Structure 1
Amino acid sequence: MVDFTLDDVAYLRSDDGRRALADVADLALSGAGQVTDIATVRTRFGERTAILVETILLRRKAAAKFDDPSAWLFTDDALQQATAAAVAEHRARRLVGARVHDVTCSVGAELAALGPVAGQLLGSDLDPVRLAMAHNNIPDVPLCRADALRPVTRDTVVLADPGRRSGGRRRFDPRAYAPPLDALFDVYRGRDLVVKCAPGIDFDQLPELGFDGEVELCSSGGSVREACLWSAGLATPGVRRRASLLDRAEQLTDADPDECAVRPAGRWIIDPDGAVVRAGLVRQYGTRYGCWQLDPDIAYLSGDELPDGVRGFEVLAEIGFDEKRLRRELAARDGGALEILVRGVDVDPDALRRRLKLRGAQPHSVVITRIGTGAAGRAVAFICRPSR
């Protein structure tokens, strides 16, 4: 990881720097030829080698988040925390026409998404290197250096993405964010505030920190990307939790119907999108698609029909969970490659897969879960065929 300086950024933004980056971008910089490629860069560009190679490698990593990062500048930490374009654009759609001040703008990912829709924009950050990179990445947006906890605007929607990494390590305590979450809520109390958070944040802790609004969980590309906190003035009336499934252009909230029954497994078992589970909206999801829960406290759903476009697991057999019996059942079905899903039972899927030592040719999925509570609780394994 390279620590960029203002001089480095100035060079990378210069004509010489852009030409050098174009040359380095033609090299693989990986595999067996990596050492040779870096030696080539060092011969041509000397002490600039590290920042040139790092920039090209970060741009390649950024392709997973951005539509076209080929001219962007990043630091490693800034890229890791940058919002994926699809998520940032989704958030921007809730702020159409608004005057927005991004008080932790970093290298400008959120501002780039807001540019086409916001009424007016301002970005600020304390880190001068990231601000210099943002000037390169979003040249049409006004930027200034400012502390997020010392407001420099009024009558704007405040957008914040507190730092959750230090020295490459994640910070899990929201009071240890930079700036701390409780301090943000205090400073901008009564203002329209949008805060991006890690999806694993303890939502029960938020009222203690001073938050009273809507929590939105977003998924994209098959995984939960982030939590977003919308202050009361920006929240949808009556909604405290929302799951936004960007791949399906679908949303659920805690205001949706939740008359979801609990019944034994039908033809299909469904593992709802992670944003649905994390937002606590499994019952709403089941109600929408005519499914039911296997257990009121477990997130798996079941149904006789699979919702369109949703991956499911067709139940072939149901057994009490026992490794020896599971091995026999799978061996009898010529079981080989095995996907294991677990909820409510203390089982390590990878360790179990190794212990089963299956040698067959047919792929299967096994869903292991707990049914019932207390003395009546039991571990169950469903042997399944995945829909895809």
Structure 2
Amino acid sequence: MPLTIIDSLHAVPADVWDGLLAQPQPFLRHAFLSALEDSGSVGGRSGWQPSHRLWCDEHDKVQAALPAYLKQHSYGEYVFDHGWADACRRAGIGYYPKLLGAVPFSPVSGARLLGDAHAAGDLLDALTAGLSQEELSSLHINFTSPACDAVMVRRPGWLERLGCQFHWHNRGYRDFQDFLDALSSRKRKQMRKEREQVAGQSIEFDRRLGHELSEADWDFVYHCYANTYHVRGQAPYLTRDFFSLLAERMPEMIRVVFAAQRGRALAMAFSLVDGDTFYGRYWGCLAEFDRLHFETCFYQGMELAIAEGLQRFDAGAQGEHKLIRGFEPVLTRSWHYLRHPGLHAAVADFLEQERSGVRVYAQEARSYLPFRQPDNG
């Protein structure tokens, strides 16, 4: 059979896997996904069991692939189907395990069906046809690219779900002041005041590349990252080893901003980059300071993106507070194939209404953007 299931990315050579990628997005690279596995961030008791799907030709050459995981829960996905699972529980319908095509813990849109488009379509058809045999309730593919959407929309049974994120776009700004000049007077003053409030607390920032960080630095990064979960009474998704492995395997894509006050480290923001995009990922602080989050995560990231000539700043899921700082609404898509006819019909009705609401929300959100209008200084 051309369909192969592997429980570790190490079953595929890195150059073969990366050769399927149309773009060098860091989250889909062999280095990133294998670091999740090797660090224990997925697998084991995490509820994320690697179950990657490959489509091979008659010579066993990989033509297409889907990074996939067997899920026993719906945490860490950022496309929320807890309500669907709860409805199944109340109706006596099994919802878990399910199969998820996604990058764990990373709400970043990108390719999911990797490789040749025709072969990827065959892979997708084989997966849906085999769900019953694998005793899986459903197949979900989250945060898809337009190319993936084109494959999905032509196939029956798939339900489209829309979401909304907020991304910042670098429109050729020379520096941060050039960006400020594009804003209305009131918003420009507000951002300057926020930055002055941080500077007035004697907080300084240090930006570093992946190869410039020591293991002690990574200890601090992880301490901050884990603290964002601990303060909410949750366990962090990623392990400490993940950061060291990533620094070893793809240091050129790592950017970290450190914040310190009079030599005492306070906070960090961990990001990744590719050819044209800055991806803000993880943030954490060990002490609360007014406006420190906005400066460390957003304004420092904008400055870095401008300095490196990056065109887009993807700051992750949620966060309407990003709007007034110039992050524009962007629609995201996920796709869902549900075996149970009753569940499929109910979710289809729900998603039809939700899609309309999301589109209206994204359009209305644009009215809160801070950019200067022709009659507004």
Fold shared by both chains (TM-score > 0.5): no
Higher relative contact order (CA 8 A, sep 6+): 2
Q: Report the TM-score range of the alignment, normalised by the length of the smaller protein.
A: under 0.3
What's the TM-score, normalizing by structure 2?
A: 0.25
